[in-house]
Amino acid sequence: MKEPVLVAYASRYGATREIAEAVARVLEARGLAVHCCPAEAVEALAPYRAVVLGSAVYEGDWLVEASDFVRRFAPELAQRPLWCFSSGTAGAAPTETMQGWTHPRLLTSLFAELQPQGHAVFGGRLEPRRLSVGDWWRYPSLRGVRGDFRDWEAITAWANGVADALAGSGQGRAALEV
């Protein structure tokens, strides 16, 4: 069996974790070995043939756990296929989620260096009763927003594009940008 694909994520309230788990299930269904875990739990990339990294987005940036992952493993990420996804503000269009950026602001130079195979932005989920008091005050734009805005068909299609690319079918690249 080939080396597994790592699906790592940074999630504050669980919605991004659920997206990562869905991506992992699609890759597994396509015959790939997969390890899905929080980004901060990854100790090394040597065992993995490719990486899918996702993060929740707050105010246009990834969570610190995902940003730290990219900084910590940048040399190794440059040596293997990398796909990224962002799970954004509930109900916002992808360009709003990233505040007009195509990737997380703080990682601009690293993204240019690493050149991920693709970066998708998916809607998020917001349950106001689950917000911490700090997040309630820090992100006033979230007040009054509630619901699950994740497009599971788009997530599945994107994950299938990753699987296609890893299988060498040549079909993956076009399907990767959502």
Matching residue, tokens 């068909």? 153
Mean pLDDT of the chain: 82
Q: Count structural domains, the chain.
A: 1
Region 92-113: what's the mean pLDDT? 63
C-alpha dist (Å) from residue 122 to 10, 22, 39, 128: 14, 13, 18, 19
| CB 83 within 8 Å of CB 38 | no
CATH number at residue 139: 3.40.50.360
**Would you place residue 149 in the very low, low, confident or very high pLDDT band (cuts 50, 70, 90)?**
confident
Rounded mean pLDDT of 98-123? 75
8 token code pair: 């790592």
| Res 137 pLDDT > 50 | yes
pTM: predicted TM-score of the whole model, two decimal places: 0.83
- The domain of 73 spans 5-176
pLDDT at 174: 35
Q: Tens digits of per-residue pLDDT, 44-101? A: 999 999 999 999 987 778 899 999 999 999 999 999 999 999 987 655 555 555 555 5
pLDDT of residue 34: 98
SS3 content of the chain, % helix, strand, coil (to 5): 45, 20, 35
Give the whole-angstrom CA distance, residue 100 versus residue 85. 15
d(Cα 123, Cα 84) in Å, to the nearest integer? 14
User: Residue 13 — very low, low, confident or very high, per pLDDT cuts 50/70/90?
Assistant: confident
